[in-house]
Every structure is written in structure tokens, then in C-alpha cells.
Chain A
Amino acid sequence: MKNKTLPISIIIFLAFCFFVFLKGLSNTNNYIPNESLGKKIASFNAKNFFNEQEINSDELFIEKKIYLLNIWASWCVPCRNEHGILMQLSQNDSIKIIGLNYKDNLDNAKKFINEMGNPYSKILRDQDGTISIELGAYGVPETLVIDNNKIILKKFVGPLNNQSLKEIKSLIR
């Protein structure tokens, strides 16, 4: 039999790599381009979800609170999953959640809100999806954390989860 040291040490080394990668997978953090963080959110006009009134985004982020701009749609399956977290966050007085309804059928969207509850202080409509594109959204759902100076503090691509809930709460303090 040949010298066993080499194969055994290789296998030990590989096992080490395996566990490092395995551990690395669990700290997976989403890739968020840094360019948009720390910058002012672009201003835009949108129609109000309930009364079709035109609203300018500059009128939205005035109070001294933390704003969440949540892009959602009734047909978006992950949006349902994160809705509970949004409802939870809406209990918090120092947070205001603004919904941006992305390319949706108005009736379906209203049904969604009636069924799941309304965490939003205001809902805007993005009928053709251009606002979301201009905000640099990757898809639905996506959540921007914005302060009253309209600076983007954080961006969550994909549905919010308990981890992001903690991160948002840490931003309030």
C-alpha cells in the first residue's frame, strides 16, 4: 500500500473547505449595489391607489420618521409571504410604509388589501412599471428604507424576512 499521508491530508483539507463553504452559504447576503445607498431617491409623480389623485413624491417623505417604500403586486407570490412582516411593522409609530403597486389589476390589488390587511399609510400606483424601473428596482417585492431627507438608507431585494425585520428595527433607534 502506498503512503497514506497524502490522500488523508487532502481529504481533511477538502472537508475543511466543504464546511467553510457550507457555513459561507448560510451568511449569504443579497447583492445590493452600493451606488444607490446613501443617495437621494429620485422624485416622481404617481397616482393615488384609492382616488386616482396625482401625488408628487416630494410631498411624501416630510415627517421625521423612517419610511419604507414597498414595491408589491397582488399577483406576486412572495409579496404574500412578506405581508405579515409589513403588518407587524405598521404597528410601529416611528415607521411609515408607502406601497407602490406594480403593474397590477386594480380590482385584484384591492381584493389583496381587503383580504390581507393594509399596512400602508399611502399606496401609489405604478401602472406601467416605469417608476419601479427608475427607482432601480430588480423585481417585486422590493423595499427601500428612506429617511425624512429622502436619503436611501437600505434596500431589500426580494421579500422581507425576520432578519430584515431586525435590521429595519435597528435603523429606527
Chain B
Amino acid sequence: MFFSQLGFYSLIIGLIFSIILFPVAYRDLSIVNNAISSNIFSILSLKLFFVFLSFICLIISFINSDFSNETVYNNSHTTKPLFYKISGTWGNHEGSLLLCLLILVFFIFIFLITSRKEPKKYRIITLLFQEIIIIGFFLFLLITSNPFNHLFPIPQEGLGLNPILQDPILAIHPPILYLGYIGSSIILSSSIAAIIQNNVNNYWAKNLKNWVIISWIFLTIGIVLGSIWAYYELGWGGFWFWDPVENISLMPWLCLTALVHSILVLEKKSLFETWTLVLCISSFTLSMCGTFLVRSGILNSVHTFAHDPSRGIFILIFLFLLILISLIIFFFFHKEKKIKQKNFLFSKETSILLNNWFMMYFLSVVLIGTVYPIFLEVITNEKISVGPPFYNKLLIPFLIPFLFLMSIGPNMKWIRQNVKLLNVKLILLFLLSIFLSYLILIKTELNTLFGSVLIIFSIYLFFVTIRDFFIKNQINFSQKISHFGFSLLILSIIMNGIFSREIITNIKVGEKYEFNNGTIYFEDINTSKKKNYISIVGIFRIKENNNNEIYLEPELRIFNQPIVVTSEADIKTNFITDKFLVMNLVKGNDYYNIKYQTKPFMIWIWLSAILMCVGASINFFKRKQNEE
């Protein structure tokens, strides 16, 4: 009760500080010196304190199971373990928005502290634009999704029942993802400020790049965590489903990935100014667009939060206002500099530009696949669903030239490369890749042209990125690791796609089932009584032709009142392959229906994504070191 009130009033105080900041900052703009007035810092610190207090209050309400708070009532339950009560704070619409707000306020504070060497006006305009976003979030929270709504009469028990969301990975997945989304807001604000100040230059790019890398790292980790959760907890036997909400996190990711590369050109060569600005503006816009699509309930998806059209309208208006302001500023203030430098076909800039074009293509495919069903439904009232075949058809053919360019692009020099098209070692590597792909292909029934060529090029890229570690060239170490991570990711995904096997059969205790590569023995069954269900654990021994033996123990839970059966898969993970077994009851006899899947290189998909982040982090910390 008390904490809900405290949290609510702290939020209002925070909003007041945000508004006060405008006149204070405006007055500071006219003072000619190079330090930002300490008033601004005090206001920001106070605001940070109050928003933080409000967030803590919400956490306390969750811990106390204070069901007079509507958010707690909707999303918690007295029997939830403490850890999940806390993580439940941001596992819902209102709490997660409060967390976003906290991150927004925190990031602008960090920005002001770390940007001391940059022009004062630029910093203040960034601050003001960021405040517009922050006020938008404040109003959104207070008007449409107040986390501290009061309920009377006070319910005795909360509604938070969904056990699927009680998972340690899911507890940290949202905050990390938000760090990525919100990080891109700083990119937007500071690029707006740079446009107004006509400050778009390599020094600006160098500083902004830190923010780009941070946002990129968090976004990547956030996406990977979500994907790991879907694989282990949902047990659907996959890691990416082209679900709209997954796509929504992928869009800013593609945009940021393009930005990481183009901002490098701006930093080193002062090229692609306009293009980089467009990417800066798009990355936050796409994040907001994602928020709109998820939170308004306009899309149908597993992630959809409670829907309330008024929320949708609010975010929609806010989103388009932001886009409109950004565009107006962009068109009015941005003056393109005339560049006298010639562009050469074979140069690092060109290869990065091509990389960006491909990223934009992938982005458009994902964007269209996600948004087109909405447009179609509104205009023609026809419902369609866009699934994996659409993405596979449109993405795979274009992945081939992309992988090829990625294997030659990074080795090019700035400005101009004298092309030696015939590098014997590279050609040998290429032939080796063709040979290896041939070996792989004869082991599978894959016979599509694009698929086969894709394997050749992904293996080639893999070899080239490994080779880069051993030779001296212009690629720095962090980039080598990231690119190696990416090639490993693509390779693992492809291998996983073509080598996954699935066996479905009905089997009785004591029986065995022989398949191509081995035999499944159904050894035994253990039944035990648990608190509110009966647990049946099947013990399966799987003997492969190479004499490898593993035991898998999938479980069936039969809830007794009423009789409902749930099945828990057993997954054995190792470095080469994942083995996945799930069983189900067959009504009316002793048979069990089992599904046995082998999924090679699953763990490498996660590891390679982490490797990409490691590369980016090395870059980030090295830059920090160089600055000092």
C-alpha cells in the first residue's frame, strides 16, 4: 500500500524534474563557457534517484505480494519463489516500461558525464531531445499504464500463474534487451543534436561509436537469451520461429549492425555522413516501432501483453511525432558537404557500403514480413500469416553474395585497393570449401541449388576468417573475433538446419526401435507421486552405431485433479550435437509416443553469438584505453 503510493508520487516528482530541466537548460545555452551548469547535473541526479525509488517501490510491492496494486495482482502469486517475484516486476507491461524509463534516465546521465570533451551546445541539445523522449515515457506510464493502480476490494490471491515464464533466463532477458533498445535512443538524440549544430564529423562519430557498440552488444545478448529460452523452456525444438516479436528485435539489430560499419567509415574517412545519420535515426525508430507493435496488441503473438487500444494510440502518436521531428530537423538543418574524394570500386568504403545495402535488404524483408499482414488486413480485410518459407525464400539467395563479400571486403584498404584477383591461397581455400561442401552434401538429401551454394560460401567465409587470425592485415583483433563469430553462427545455423533429424514412433517398455544410425531402448519407467501430480519418468537408452550410449529421461506429469498430462523433454547437450527426447501417452494401451531429435551444433549457435559480442566488447574497451 505505502510503497505503491510512494512509487507513484516519485514518478510524478520525476516528471516535474524533467519539465523543469527545459528552462534551466535553455538558460544554460546562452551562457558562454564550456561547462554545463551544475544545476542540470543536480536535477538529473534527483530525477534518477526518484525514478529509481519508484522502481524499487514496485519491486517491494512484488516481494510483499501487495495485491492492492493492480500490476502485482495481475502478475504475481503468493506461492511464487522470491526470485521470480522480483523478476516478475519487469515481466509485464507496466513494470517493463518503468524499467525502460529508468534506463533512459540513467543513460542520459552517463552520456553527460562521459561527453565532457564535446561542445556544450551539442550536449545540451542531446539532453533536451532525450528529455522529450523521457517525458513521452513518463506520460505513457502515468496516463495509460500506471504500475501503481490501486485495487479495492483487495484480492486475496494474484493471477500470476504461468509457469513457463518462471525461468532464470527469462528473468534477465528483458532488461538486457531494453538496454539495447534504449541505448539507441542516445544515438538518435545525439545525431539530432549533431545535425542542428552541424557537428557531424569524425570526432562525433568516434564518440558516438561507443554508444552504438554498447547498444549492439546488449541487443545481441538479449536476442540470444530469448532464443535460448525458447529452445530449452518451450521445448519446440527450435531457436528461431520468425515470430513477429522476434522479428521486431531483429530489425533494430540489423540497423545497428549496418551502423557499426558505416560509422567506422565516417570516423576514418568522413564519408557516408547522410547515410549514417539516416541509420542513427532509424535504429531508435525501429525499436519504438517494435514497442508499438508488441504493446498495442496489433499483432498476434506469444509475447503479446494485455491489450488496450488507448496504449496503442499513445505510442503510435508518440512514435510518429518523433519520426516527424527527426525528419524535419534532418531536412532543414542537414547540409550535405561536397566531397571531392573519388570513390573506387575496390576499396573498404565500397565494401562497407555494399554490406549496408545487404543489411537494408534483410531489414526490409523482415519489416515487410512483419508489417504487411497488418496492412493487408486493414486494406482488404484478408488475413494472412507470414512464416519461415517466406523468409527462407527471400533471404537465402541474398545471403550468398553477402557471405562472399564479407570474406573479401574486410581485407581491402581504405580509398583504393590494387586488386590482385588471383590470390593462390584464397583460391585453394575456395576449392577446399567446395570439396568439403560436396562431402557434406552427399551425406544429406539436400538438393537445392541455393542451399548447396550457400554451404560452399559459408564454409569459405569460415576458412577466411580463421586465416585472418594468422596473417597480418588491417583488420584489428576485435573485428577478427566478431567476424569469425558471425561466420561460425551462419555455419552452425546451416549445419543445424540440414543435419537435424527427427524420429517419431510408438514404443512399449522393454521394446527397442531401430533407426538408421542406432537403436532406442525403452529400458524402464519410474512412477512417483509428487505434490499435485504423478510423475512418470521414462528411461531410454540410445545406442548409436558408433557405440556411443546415452540415457535420456523425459518426464510425463499427470495432474490428478482434473486429469491433464504435460510432458517435459529431456535434452542432452554437448559440443557436437544436442539430443532431444520427448514422450507422450497413447490413450488406451501401454504404448508411448516418442519423438527423438538430434540437433547438431546447437550450442555453437549460442557460443558464436557470444563470440560476436566478445569481439565488440574488446573493441569498446580498447577504444576506452586509447582515449585515456
Chain A contact residues, CB within 8 Å of chain B: 2, 6-7, 10-11, 14, 18, 20-31, 42-45, 57, 73, 75-77, 103, 105, 108, 129-131, 133-134, 139-140
Nearest B residue to A133 by beta-carbon distance?
B161
- Give the contacting residue for B562; candidates A7, A29, A43; CB below 8 A: A43
In the complex, are the beta carbons of B157 and A129 less than 8 A apart?
Answer: yes
The yes or no answer to B307 lying at the interface (CB within 8 A) is: yes
In the complex, are the beta carbons of B379 and A20 less than 8 A apart?
Answer: yes
CB distance from A93 to the nearest CB of B (A): 29
In the complex, are the beta carbons of A42 and B564 less than 8 A apart?
Answer: yes
* Complex: A130 Cα to B377 Cα, angstroms: 38
Nearest A residue to B562 by beta-carbon distance?
A44
* Complex: A162 Cα to B146 Cα, angstroms: 27
Residues of chain A with a CB closer than 8 A to B562's CB: 42-45, 57, 131, 134
In the complex, are the beta carbons of B532 and A130 less than 8 A apart?
Answer: yes
Residues of chain B with a CB closer than 8 A to A2's CB: 331
Residues of chain B with a CB closer than 8 A to A21's CB: 292, 298, 312, 316, 374
Q: Which of B148-156, B419-427, B614-622 contacts A (4 or more CB under 8 A)?
A: B148-156
Give chain B interface residues in 58-77, CB to chain A under 8 Å: 74
What total of A-B pairs shows CB separation below 8 Å?
87
Nearest B residue to A26 by beta-carbon distance?
B309
* Complex: A129 Cα to B312 Cα, angstroms: 32
* Complex: A20 Cα to B372 Cα, angstroms: 11
- Give the contacting residue for B561; candidates A7, A29, A44; CB below 8 A: A44
In the complex, are the beta carbons of B300 and A31 less than 8 A apart?
Answer: yes
* Complex: A75 Cα to B377 Cα, angstroms: 37
Residues of chain B with a CB closer than 8 A to A139's CB: 74, 159
In the complex, are the beta carbons of A18 and B309 less than 8 A apart?
Answer: no
In the complex, are the beta carbons of B159 and A31 less than 8 A apart?
Answer: no
Nearest B residue to A56 by beta-carbon distance?
B562
In the complex, are the beta carbons of A7 and B298 less than 8 A apart?
Answer: no
In the complex, are the beta carbons of A25 and B157 less than 8 A apart?
Answer: no
CB distance from B600 to the nearest CB of A (A): 29
In the complex, are the beta carbons of B153 and A75 less than 8 A apart?
Answer: yes
**Contact flag A25-B561 (CB < 8 Å), given A103-B157, A133-B161:** no
**Contact flag A43-B298 (CB < 8 Å), given A20-B379, A140-B159:** no
* Complex: A28 Cα to B155 Cα, angstroms: 29
In the complex, are the beta carbons of A75 and B304 less than 8 A apart?
Answer: no
In the complex, are the beta carbons of B324 and A14 less than 8 A apart?
Answer: yes
The yes or no answer to B297 lying at the interface (CB within 8 A) is: yes
Chain B contact residues, CB within 8 Å of chain A: 74, 151, 153-157, 159, 161, 292, 296-298, 300-301, 304, 307, 309, 312-313, 316, 320, 323-324, 327, 331, 374-375, 377-379, 532, 559, 561-564
In the complex, are the beta carbons of A24 and B161 less than 8 A apart?
Answer: no
In the complex, are the beta carbons of B327 and A29 less than 8 A apart?
Answer: no
In the complex, are the beta carbons of B327 and A10 less than 8 A apart?
Answer: yes
Residues of chain B with a CB closer than 8 A to A103's CB: 156-157
* Complex: A30 Cα to B300 Cα, angstroms: 8
Residues of chain B with a CB closer than 8 A to A73's CB: 155
Residues of chain A with a CB closer than 8 A to B324's CB: 11, 14
Residues of chain A with a CB closer than 8 A to B320's CB: 14, 18
In the complex, are the beta carbons of B378 and A27 less than 8 A apart?
Answer: yes
Residues of chain B with a CB closer than 8 A to A108's CB: 153
Interface-central residue, A24, A57, A103, by most chain B CB under 10 Å = A24
* Complex: A10 Cα to B316 Cα, angstroms: 17
* Complex: A10 Cα to B326 Cα, angstroms: 12
CB distance from A27 to the nearest CB of B (A): 7
Residues of chain A with a CB closer than 8 A to B304's CB: 31
CB distance from A20 to the nearest CB of B (A): 5
Residues of chain A with a CB closer than 8 A to B156's CB: 75, 103, 105
- List 9 additional A-B contacts (Cβ < 8 Å) besides A20-B378, A131-B562, A134-B562: A11-B327, A23-B378, A30-B297, A31-B297, A42-B562, A42-B563, A75-B153, A131-B561, A134-B559
**Contact flag A134-B564 (CB < 8 Å), given A20-B378, A22-B316:** yes
**Contact flag A43-B563 (CB < 8 Å), given A14-B324, A20-B378, A21-B374:** yes
Nearest B residue to A135 by beta-carbon distance?
B562
CB distance from B360 to the nearest CB of A (A): 16
**Contact flag A25-B296 (CB < 8 Å), given A131-B562, A134-B559:** yes
* Complex: A2 Cα to B274 Cα, angstroms: 15
Sample of 10 A–B contacts (CB below 8 Å): A11-B327, A14-B324, A25-B296, A28-B298, A31-B301, A43-B562, A129-B161, A130-B559, A133-B161, A134-B562
**Contact flag A28-B297 (CB < 8 Å), given A18-B316, A43-B562, A44-B562:** yes
* Complex: A26 Cα to B159 Cα, angstroms: 27
- Give the contacting residue for A45; candidates B154, B377, B561; CB below 8 A: B561
Residues of chain B with a CB closer than 8 A to A22's CB: 313, 316
**Contact flag A28-B379 (CB < 8 Å), given A44-B561, A103-B156, A134-B564:** no
* Complex: A20 Cα to B313 Cα, angstroms: 12
* Complex: A25 Cα to B296 Cα, angstroms: 7
Nearest A residue to B159 by beta-carbon distance?
A139
CB distance from A13 to the nearest CB of B (A): 11
Residues of chain B with a CB closer than 8 A to A75's CB: 153-156
* Complex: A99 Cα to B157 Cα, angstroms: 19
* Complex: A24 Cα to B309 Cα, angstroms: 10
**Contact flag A130-B561 (CB < 8 Å), given A11-B327, A18-B316:** yes
* Complex: A18 Cα to B298 Cα, angstroms: 13
CB distance from A1 to the nearest CB of B (A): 10
Nearest A residue to B307 by beta-carbon distance?
A28
Nearest A residue to B323 by beta-carbon distance?
A14
* Complex: A44 Cα to B559 Cα, angstroms: 11
Residues of chain A with a CB closer than 8 A to B155's CB: 73, 75-76
Residues of chain B with a CB closer than 8 A to A26's CB: 309
Residues of chain B with a CB closer than 8 A to A18's CB: 316, 320
CB distance from A35 to the nearest CB of B (A): 12
CB distance from A22 to the nearest CB of B (A): 6
Interface-central residue, B154, B307, B532, by most chain A CB under 10 Å = B307
* Complex: A6 Cα to B334 Cα, angstroms: 14
* Complex: A28 Cα to B313 Cα, angstroms: 12
Residues of chain A with a CB closer than 8 A to B297's CB: 28, 30-31
Nearest A residue to B155 by beta-carbon distance?
A75
CB distance from B306 to the nearest CB of A (A): 8
* Complex: A30 Cα to B307 Cα, angstroms: 8
In the complex, are the beta carbons of B327 and A25 less than 8 A apart?
Answer: no
Nearest B residue to A16 by beta-carbon distance?
B375
In the complex, are the beta carbons of B559 and A25 less than 8 A apart?
Answer: no
In the complex, are the beta carbons of A7 and B331 less than 8 A apart?
Answer: yes
* Complex: A43 Cα to B292 Cα, angstroms: 40
